[in-house]
Structure 1
Amino acid sequence: MTPAISIVMPCYNGARHLAQSVASVQAQTRGDWELIIVDDGSRDDSWQLMQALAAADPRIVPLQQTNAGAAAARNTGLAQARGRLLAFLDSDDTWHSEFLERMSAALAGREDEALAYCGWQNIGVGREDSQPFVPPEYQTPDKVETLLGGCRWPIHGAMVSLEAVRAAGCFDTGLSSCMDYDLWLRLGSRMTLVRVPEVLAFYHFHDGEQITKNRSRIAFNHLRAQRKFLAAHPDIAQRLGRRRVRALTSGELLHRGYVSYWKGDTETARSLFRAVMASGYGRPKDWLYMLPALLPLPLHRALLRAMRSGRAGKQQG
């Protein structure tokens, strides 16, 4: 029987967490799905594990490819998908047991014209105080501008039709991160966005290698996705105007630089600040923060230590 929902899961060295993620799919209150797991050239026991899982559950389809990245792995899965609806889940994340049921219900009657998104929560290493988060309403007259500022749901917090994703060109393999943001920009700008105001997706942080730990790579790929979209839609860029476009692009990069700066991630802040300065963006007080990024790293760190020491001395006095 043809499944109603296809779930695509890329997996690279994910043996440690794969069973938990698959279990969250098998626990769904809606069972008419297929789970396509794509082994992206793993060096651990991921392939053997997904074969064993597939032997125990015929709804699981294991595929294997030479390592090519998450975007390529997802595209491999998309090529084999058969369901009308589509969702994505990484091999170390999980869903609420009613994710498929709630999300598909939100799209009922408009499966081919709408994209549903839901709330999510970070859990795991270093995220003990993370609060559940439900993204705001995006389906407004300013939807495209808001999307350019960023899509505030993770890849496993959305559901859309398979044909819509295929028609949009699937995932851009030139992006090592933010490939989901790039896709949501392309889809969300022309489809109705349906908000499901419930926390149904869980992002698991752990002590292994995760793309989302690299703030610099994420920031620059986010910028590339923005520029790619604006280049493909010059009418939108013209309507927004140069000042607003710069605020959405260079301004977002500056914001991410500040976040890294205040978190003590000096190296990431330096790379982002340098890119912002190269674009000529920022107010005078922003440049006071950014200019030290032009110093050699040891001098920059020494300057920051001196500044913090000075502030601490003033507070004690």
Structure 2
Amino acid sequence: MFFSVVIPTYNRLPILEKCLTALEKQQLKSNTAIADYEIVVVDDGSTDGTISWLVAHQPELPHVRWFEQNHAGPAAARNLGVAKAQGDFIIFIDSDLVVTAGFLQSHCDALMEGEAAIESDRLFTYGSVINTCNFDNPTAEPYKITDFSAAYFATGNVAIAKKWLQEAGLFDTQFQLYGWEDLELGVRLKKLGLKLIKCPEAVGYHWHPPFSLADIPNLIDKEIQRGKMGILFYQKHPSWDVKMMIQMTWIHRLLWGILSLGGLVNERSLAPILKLLIERGKPQLALEIARIFLNWYNVKAVYQEVRSQKSEVRS
């Protein structure tokens, strides 16, 4: 078993350093089925000196190979990484993920145990992702209920045979804005009959800066982008499951409409509460509260995109 850890990156050099260092410190069992592993970094047009840093630190990163592309988004970057990968198994993580020493071995064990259990190699493993804003010691963060994910296939921490990615057709580069390119590939993998095997022992700590009020415009923009890309997702796979995922149902419209009081609970009205929580050292709680209006922006963007496309058809 040869693993290729594919990592797209864009202007994330400080945390990328921690990401790569952790991957170079993997501890494998003496009888491991892992023959070797490589780390395939795809720089998506960074302007923060990522490539220069990789060149300067090459002796410290013996498993790392890197490739460059003009800024084209994570879907195109992951596709390039898969194309360049030498391994028969691909592990996708993000460049702001710091893994534990047993990360690779845990994915290996889960893949082998899963294949034996279901008597098929149509499977992939999905590890744990714990969110943290602790840059100095990201792996110190405990698991929280908000870290739970019900996603079938998400590229934050997943291992899969390269042949299944190739058969499914890799990531759709039409998803050029934020969101859904990995879950859309997941729908195609599910149609191939692949089974999700949970692998909680393969832990990755997803670092992000502490939430601040200055982040709100960017977060709102991401939700609007996610709404637009959600419609592309639904056009490719017009099913109730996808409608639920992209929040394109009357349930979501009613729920977030009520919680946000039709938009009255927004970034302006909640600013004093969010500011107070941040000042008291509770930025994560502030972010969870902000999701009330962020989700409302997402739902509105979904329906705005539907109306926009209907208008284009009529004209």
Would you call these one fold, judging by a TM-score over 0.5?
A: yes
- Flag the 1:272–1:6 CA change in 2: closer, same or farther, 3 A: same
Distance 1:9 1:124 in 2: 20
1:195 aligns with one of 177, 194, 198: 198
Distance 1:114 1:69 in 2: 27
- Flag the 1:77–1:159 CA change in 2: closer, same or farther, 3 A: same
Report the alpha carbon displacement of residue 270 of structure 1 after superposing the two structures with TM.
Answer: 4.6
Deviations 1:258-298 (A, max 9, x none): 77766376576256236448979xxxxxxxxxxxxxxxxxx
SS at match of 1:23: helix
Please name the residue that 1:15 is paired with: 13
Letter in 1 for 2:132: I
Distance 1:218 1:259 in 2: 20
**1:174 is aligned to 2:174:** yes
Distance 1:263 1:8 in 2: 32
Distance 2:187 2:244 in 1: 17
Report the alpha carbon displacement of residue 156 of structure 1 after superposing the two structures with TM.
Answer: 2.5
Count residues in correspondence. 254
2:187 aligns with one of 185, 188, 206: 185
Report the alpha carbon displacement of residue 85 of structure 1 after superposing the two structures with TM.
Answer: 1.0
Higher Cα radius of gyration = 1
SS at match of 2:163: helix
Distance 1:19 1:5 in 2: 20
Q: CA RMSD in A?
A: 3.7
Q: Does the aligned pair in 2 maintain the 1:132–1:199 contact within 8 Å?
A: no
- Flag the 1:276–1:257 CA change in 2: closer, same or farther, 3 A: farther
2:105 aligns with one of 94, 101, 106: 101
**1:47 is aligned to 2:51:** yes
Report the alpha carbon displacement of residue 91 of structure 1 after superposing the two structures with TM.
Answer: 1.6
- Flag the 1:247–1:61 CA change in 2: closer, same or farther, 3 A: closer
What TM-score, normalized to structure 1? 0.67
Q: Share of identical aligned residues, percent?
A: 23
Q: Does the aligned pair in 1 maintain the 2:152–2:186 contact within 8 Å?
A: no
Q: Does the aligned pair in 2 maintain the 1:119–1:153 contact within 8 Å?
A: no
Distance 2:159 2:256 in 1: 28
Please name the residue that 1:114 is paired with: 123
Distance 2:64 2:203 in 1: 21
Specify every segment of 5 or more residues in structure 1 that has no aligned partner in the other structure, as ranges.
137-149, 231-236, 281-317
Letter in 2 for 1:185: V
Please name the residue that 1:56 is paired with: 60
**1:269 is aligned to 2:278:** no
- Flag the 1:229–1:99 CA change in 2: closer, same or farther, 3 A: farther
Report the alpha carbon displacement of residue 19 of structure 1 after superposing the two structures with TM.
Answer: 0.7
Distance 1:129 1:256 in 2: 29
Distance 1:258 1:155 in 2: 32
Report the alpha carbon displacement of residue 67 of structure 1 after superposing the two structures with TM.
Answer: 1.3
Specify every segment of 5 or more residues in structure 2 that has no aligned partner in the other structure, as ranges.
29-33, 266-288, 308-315
- Flag the 1:225–1:28 CA change in 2: closer, same or farther, 3 A: farther
**1:206 is aligned to 2:206:** no
Report the alpha carbon displacement of residue 56 of structure 1 after superposing the two structures with TM.
Answer: 3.1
Report the alpha carbon displacement of residue 122 of structure 1 after superposing the two structures with TM.
Answer: 0.8
Distance 1:257 1:179 in 2: 27
**1:28 is aligned to 2:59:** no
- Flag the 1:164–1:16 CA change in 2: closer, same or farther, 3 A: same
Q: Does the aligned pair in 2 maintain the 1:181–1:222 contact within 8 Å?
A: no
Distance 1:117 1:16 in 2: 26
Distance 1:192 1:77 in 2: 23
- Flag the 1:52–1:89 CA change in 2: closer, same or farther, 3 A: farther
Distance 1:87 1:37 in 2: 12
- Flag the 1:253–1:10 CA change in 2: closer, same or farther, 3 A: farther
- Flag the 1:20–1:78 CA change in 2: closer, same or farther, 3 A: same
**1:72 is aligned to 2:76:** yes
Letter in 2 for 1:131: K
What TM-score, normalized to structure 2? 0.67
SS at match of 2:156: helix
Deviations 1:41-98 (A, max 9, x none): 1111101112233343332101111111111111111111111111112222112221
Report the alpha carbon displacement of residue 35 of structure 1 after superposing the two structures with TM.
Answer: 0.5
Please name the residue that 1:131 is paired with: 144
